[in-house]
Structure 1
Amino acid sequence: MAPDFRLRPAEPADYDRVIAVVDDWWGRSIHGSLPRLFLDHFHRTSIIAEHDERLGGFLVGFLSPSMPDAAYIHFVGVDPRFRGNGLARRLYRGFFDIAQAGHRSVVRAITSPQNDASIAFHTKMGFTVTGPHPDYDGPSTDRILFERRLPTM
């Protein structure tokens, strides 16, 4: 049974807590994909999930400054002990609310073609999945693209 996690907006100070666990949660070195600038500049559109001040998950996302209809989810993590209990879905729904409040009509994200769990999760969450897109992030760095249209408010 997973604890009842409280979702709240992230703060820049949350970075140290998040970066301290990402490599363990992924089982490999991944921290380079999440520089401090994301929580320094996009903490208001990012979400922390905690229970008794213990970090259970997070979502780092932002409203695109260049695409006025789009929001982007950059990085999401859930403590492996609490996966499969709906916490990631709650984080995504919280971000969808943020995106809609910001008058965005689409949420986008990407992953590597090898990330079957992410592809399955995004499909279940109603995202359109396309790819792999060759060289999307540079030579030999293919990506799968996700897109989910949001209901208009």
Structure 2
Amino acid sequence: MTTPLPAPWLHLGIRRPGPDDHLPVLALLDTWWGGLGGEEGMRQRALLLPKLMFQHFGDSSFLVTSGDRIVAFLIGFLSQSRPDESYIHFVGVDPAERGSGLGAELYERFFAHSRAHGRSVVRAITSPQNGGSHAFHTRMGFVTEPGPKEFEGRPVQPDYDGPGLDRLSFRKDLSPTG
């Protein structure tokens, strides 16, 4: 079921994603990321969003649409191993909607979902080269966790996602009400 978003996104709807949304979301990634990383970047992004994310984590994720067109998504989940934590796995916003606050709205909805399920910490990661993502997470109240390496002054977790796949690791402590 699609529900409307508050202003300024009244023309958009938001709903939980399902398995049928997997391929349509994958089709957007290369366009939205501007072909970042070429073929290898495309492969890595696809591997980060397997169908199981849409099959098993739809209840904690969000998909924003304008008619039949997907304009944003957030795939996140409540940790099964760490009962106080939740995790934002992958987020995308159509470049035409960036800067509108839509990404922040999705994060706030995920924070509320996390709080409603007794979570007090939200985690996320990004690549060290993604300065825009680092800036966004910082604005959203995340802190970058210390790491043994640095990239442009940001602490890095080496080999976080495998050999040579360094990441910045973020943590946000949720207050009970906001």
TM-score calculated relative to the size of structure 2: 0.80
Which residue number corresponds to residue 26 of structure 1? 33
2:141 paired with 1:126: yes
Counting only pairs closer than 5 Å after superposition, residues 35-46 of structure 1 correspond to structure 2 as 35-46=50-61
Runs of 5+ consecutive residues of structure 1 not aligned to the other structure: none
Name the aligned partner's letter for residue 161 of structure 2.
Answer: D
Distance in 2 between residues matched to 1:13 and 1:102, nearest whole Å: 26
2:157 paired with 1:142: no
TM-score calculated relative to the size of structure 1: 0.93
Which residue number corresponds to residue 67 of structure 2? 52
Counting only pairs closer than 5 Å after superposition, residues 28-107 of structure 1 correspond to structure 2 as 28=35, 29=42, 30-107=45-122
- Aligned residues between the structures: 152
Tell me how far 1:16 sits from its aligned partner. 2.3
Match of residue 17, structure 1, among 15, 21, 24: 24
After superposition, the C-alpha distances for 1:92-119 in whole angstroms (9 at most, x for unaligned) are: 0111111111110010000111010000
Distance in 1 between residues matched to 2:9 and 2:70, nearest whole Å: 11
Percent identity for Structure 1 against Structure 2: 48
Greater Rg over alpha carbons, structure: 2
Q: CA RMSD in A?
A: 1.4
Tell me how far 1:3 sits from its aligned partner. 4.8
Moved over 4 A (4+): none
Runs of 5+ consecutive residues of structure 2 not aligned to the other structure: 1-7, 36-41, 146-154
Name the aligned partner's letter for residue 166 of structure 2.
Answer: D
Structure scoring higher RCO (CA < 8 A, sep ≥ 6) equals 1
SS in 1 for 2:89: strand
